[in-house]
Structure 1
Amino acid sequence: MLLIADSGSTKTDWRWIASNGTVAACQTDGINPYYQTTDQIRNTLANQLLPNLPADAITSVFFYGAGCSGPSVNGLVEQALWSVLPGAESVNVASDMLGAARAAARHSAGIVCILGTGANACCYDGAQITRGIQSLGFWLGDEGSGGYLGKTLVRAVFQRTLPADLIDLFQNRYQLDRPTLLDNAYKKPNPNRYFASFTPFLGEHQHHPAVQTLVTDAFRLFLQTYIQPFPESIEWPIHFVGSVTYYFQPLLKQAVEQAGLTMGCVLKAPIDQLVQYHQTTN
């Protein structure tokens, strides 16, 4: 039986495939080896994953996760998986970027982007990632992401560069004052998640011309920063994975086409396509 995971810091989507091809699913807390020890990861697996697994033995595991960027951190996840699944014949841990690439491009070459709370992109040759743009995180990068869109929105509200009708709608909903904003921006943890929480407001009002301009400008900046530096972008399709790409798909498509690039597929989440990838690969 094959077990596949797509994990972020908040949640992990799991799928297991029986020998007859049937697929079952569950969801656990997120797993990120940058923020968790092997014991913490093991506890999540033992308490949330194992009770949901069938009696049939898991023989192979493919885990794609945020923070899984190299042998040392990947090893933390591998150790935890081996400890709770001792009968497995193989455990494979890789980055969420590779998971996104395999889900979106399958066995074909393409440029693959993640636009969720954060932002990232890579060139994928149909088997492996061949090059990428190093992400600098929320404060120094993540252009086009949910965190970036929310930060841009809040700045426009407080600097009053948005139309008055949008500012009123925003403040009626969030009742946000300057001390609360600055406290969440500079003192509390995970400012990227905090600012990304305002992105649904943009989604609800994306037919407003000012919102369209704000979001499209962010996507153009993402393309300029992450995509157009790749020479392959002239010929390869550009695939997108993540909630931001899914909910703002018309504006994203407009930005891609205006940049003279080729729009590929758009996936809200990669897990089901990863199942299909491994069903046809193994």
Structure 2
Amino acid sequence: MILLADGGSTKCDWILLGDEGEIIFKTRTEGLNPAVFKPNVLEERIRKNEELTKHKDSIITVHFYGAGCGTKKPAALLKQIFEDFFENATEVIVREDMVAAVYAATTEPGIVCILGTGSNSCYYDGEHIHMAVDSLGYILMDEASGNYFGKRLIRDFYYKRMPPEVAEAFNEQYDLSSDVIKENLYKKENPNTYLASFAEFIFTSERNGYFYKIITEGIQEFVETRVLCFPEAQNVPIHFIGSIAHFSEDIIRAAVWPYHLKIGNIVRRPIDGIIEYYRKEVLKVKVD
């Protein structure tokens, strides 16, 4: 059996696959980004999940793909936490979420983009992943991500750049007092997740001109900074992973059109693509 996980800062999806590729269980924990959360928070989020706790002694293989796992120290921290929790595991692999995004999107050369709580991109040559830019996180980068749009909404509300009816609805849905916002951003943990929580307002409300404008500007900035940086962009498909990409497909297609780029797959939930990859490429399950 293989325990697979696709983790971000907001949530983490877990799947236990049997030897024939069957799903033994699916579950979800809160986000497990080791670059953002302290070890005790990561440990607690795993322990309180009933499915993981029930099966932990029988699991011998853990493959985790997550945000914040692209550098050695955070990845090693999370790996140790998993080894301590899954005491009988003989193989624990922790890799960055970009790898999972590639598995979910394609087996052929292409550019793969993540639009989630954070954002990122890579070029996949068919065998290896190539990063053009090191990600510096939500303060400096993360264009077109959940925290990017959350930040934009809060600024626009305070600068009174929102249409009045949108501002009224936004104010009814969230506590926008300056004290609460500053406490969450500067005193509490996980400010990136806090900012990203506001982005739901855009994608669960009826589309209007204001929403269209800020989504378009975010996607345009992402394309210019995180897609066109790859020389291969003109010659391979551009794949997108994540809910923001799923709900913004029309805007993504419009944003890449002037650059004559080809859109590939747009995958809302990467865990589904990861399952199929493991069935075909790892477990070698034959499909009739």
Give TM class, smaller chain. Answer: 0.7 to 0.9
| Aligned-residue offset at 1:40 | 6.4
Does the 8 Å CA contact 2:5/2:63 hold for their aligned counterparts? yes
Q: Residue 221 in 1 paired to residue 221 in 2?
A: yes
Between the aligned partners of 1:215 and 1:206, the Cα distance in structure 2 is 13
Alignment of 1:158-237 (within 5 A): 158-174=158-174, 176-205=176-205, 207-237=207-237
Q: 2:15 maps to what in 1?
A: 15
Q: 1:64 maps to what in 2?
A: 65
Between the aligned partners of 2:78 and 2:177, the Cα distance in structure 1 is 41
Between the aligned partners of 2:207 and 2:32, the Cα distance in structure 1 is 36
Alignment of 1:118-157 (within 5 A): 118-157=118-157
Q: 1:252 maps to what in 2?
A: 252
- The change in CA–CA distance for 1:63 and 1:188 in structure 2 (over 3 A counts) is closer
- The change in CA–CA distance for 1:206 and 1:2 in structure 2 (over 3 A counts) is same
Does the 8 Å CA contact 1:65/1:96 hold for their aligned counterparts? yes
| Aligned-residue offset at 1:73 | 3.1
Does the 8 Å CA contact 1:205/1:211 hold for their aligned counterparts? no
Between the aligned partners of 1:195 and 1:58, the Cα distance in structure 2 is 35
Q: 1:51 maps to what in 2?
A: 53
| Aligned-residue offset at 1:45 | 4.5
Aligned residues: 279
Judge which range, 176-185 or 24-33, deviates more: 176-185
Q: Which amino acid aligns with 2:34?
A: P
Does the 8 Å CA contact 1:31/1:65 hold for their aligned counterparts? yes
| Aligned-residue offset at 1:238 | 1.3
Q: Residue 75 in 1 paired to residue 76 in 2?
A: yes
Query: Identity percentage over the alignment?
Result: 35
- The change in CA–CA distance for 1:2 and 1:154 in structure 2 (over 3 A counts) is same
Q: 2:32 maps to what in 1?
A: 31
| Aligned-residue offset at 1:77 | 2.9
- The change in CA–CA distance for 1:28 and 1:156 in structure 2 (over 3 A counts) is closer
Between the aligned partners of 1:189 and 1:81, the Cα distance in structure 2 is 22
Q: Residue 240 in 1 paired to residue 231 in 2?
A: no
- The change in CA–CA distance for 1:233 and 1:27 in structure 2 (over 3 A counts) is same
Between the aligned partners of 1:180 and 1:87, the Cα distance in structure 2 is 44
| Aligned-residue offset at 1:72 | 3.6
Does the 8 Å CA contact 2:67/2:97 hold for their aligned counterparts? yes
Between the aligned partners of 1:83 and 1:177, the Cα distance in structure 2 is 41
| Aligned-residue offset at 1:281 | 1.0
SS in 2 for 1:53: helix
SS in 1 for 2:131: strand
Q: Which amino acid aligns with 1:74?
A: A
Q: Which amino acid aligns with 1:100?
A: A
Q: Which amino acid aligns with 2:27?
A: C
Does the 8 Å CA contact 2:110/2:124 hold for their aligned counterparts? yes
- The change in CA–CA distance for 1:205 and 1:103 in structure 2 (over 3 A counts) is same
Does the 8 Å CA contact 1:240/1:267 hold for their aligned counterparts? yes
- The change in CA–CA distance for 1:33 and 1:193 in structure 2 (over 3 A counts) is closer
Does the 8 Å CA contact 2:9/2:117 hold for their aligned counterparts? no
| Aligned-residue offset at 1:4 | 1.0
Does the 8 Å CA contact 2:56/2:85 hold for their aligned counterparts? no
Between the aligned partners of 1:253 and 1:22, the Cα distance in structure 2 is 35
Judge which range, 264-273 or 25-34, deviates more: 25-34
TM-score when normalising by structure 1: 0.86
SS in 2 for 1:21: coil
Q: Deviations over 1:107-147 (max 9, x none)?
A: 21111111111111111122331223222222212111111
Runs of 4 or more off by more than 6 Å in structure 1? Answer: none
User: For structure 2, which runs of at least 5 residues remain unmatched after alignment?
Assistant: 283-288
Between the aligned partners of 1:46 and 1:199, the Cα distance in structure 2 is 29
TM-score when normalising by structure 2: 0.85
Q: Which amino acid aligns with 2:158?
A: F
Judge which range, 193-202 or 45-54, deviates more: 45-54
SS in 1 for 2:108: coil
| Aligned-residue offset at 1:215 | 0.9
Q: Deviations over 1:71-125 (max 9, x none)?
A: 44323333333344454443222111111111112x2111111111111111112
